[in-house]
Structures are given as C-alpha cells and as structure tokens.
Amino acid sequence: AQKITQTQPGMFVQEKEAVTLDCTYDTSDPSYGLFWYKQPSSGEMIFLIYQGSYDQQNATEGRYSLNFQKARKSANLVISASQLGDSAMYFCAMRGGSTLTFGKGTMLLVSP
C-alpha cells in the first residue's frame, strides 16, 4: 500500500521569501513517481512538478523545485521568491502501479 504524509496543515511565508512544504511517502514499489499539485481557492487542481524514483537529479520547474531524498523517502516542494498568487492548498501525490495517492495537503498563505 502507498501512503503520503504531509505534516504541515498550514504554512505562512512573506512575499519574495522561499518556503519548503514537506512530504514523506511510503511504498514497497521500487518504481514510482511523485507529484505536487496546487489547488487555489477556485478549486481546480494544477500540476506543478514531477520526480521519478530513478531520476538522478532533483526536478525543477521555474520557481518550483523538488528536494528528493530517496533514502529518507521525502519529496519536499521548495517555492522560491513566493508571490501572493502562491496562496493555495498544495498536495503531494505518489503514483505506483496504476493508482495515484494523495496526502492531506498543506495550506500556504503568502503575506505582503
């Protein structure tokens, strides 16, 4: 069985600062993928970044980067230079086999 744990129900950050959202996972599958999604108050799910279990380098997409530590089973999302529009719920998800499992999410609030 797969499990995703996000231990931060809420996070606060000031505009222009960096923030790290934590995600740990558990799986017995040697091949898996890790995803981060953003859900703004409007409700849609927006894909941000992907990391494969065999990828040698940490994934980056613009201001988003993924701090992947395979031995620790963690896949933390780093948002650099936070913007007011980054205020949203963030979900970590894992795909192993045919299912996609989500964590409970972290609410990020960016203040001016």
Partner 1 sequence: NAGVTQTPKFRVLKTGQSMTLLCAQDMNHEYMYWYRQDPGMGLRLIHYSVGEGTTAKGEVPDGYNVSRLKKQNFLLGLESAAPSQTSVYFCASSYSQRRTEAFFGQGTRLTVV
Site residues (CB under 8 A) for partner 1?
Answer: 6, 9, 31-33, 35, 43-45, 47, 50, 52, 91, 93, 95-96, 98-105
* Minimum distance of partner 1 from residue 98's CB (angstroms): 5
Residue type, 36: W
Q: What is the C-alpha separation between 99 and 112, in angstroms, rounded?
A: 39
Select 27 or 82, whichever has its Cβ closest to partner 1: 27
Select 62 or 112, whichever has its Cβ closest to partner 1: 62
* Minimum distance of partner 1 from residue 108's CB (angstroms): 15
Select 57 or 112, whichever has its Cβ closest to partner 1: 57
- Find, among 35, 34, 12, 23, the residue nearest to 86 by Cα: 12
Q: What is the C-alpha separation between 110 and 112, in angstroms, rounded?
A: 7
Q: What is the C-alpha separation between 21 and 12, in angstroms, rounded?
A: 11
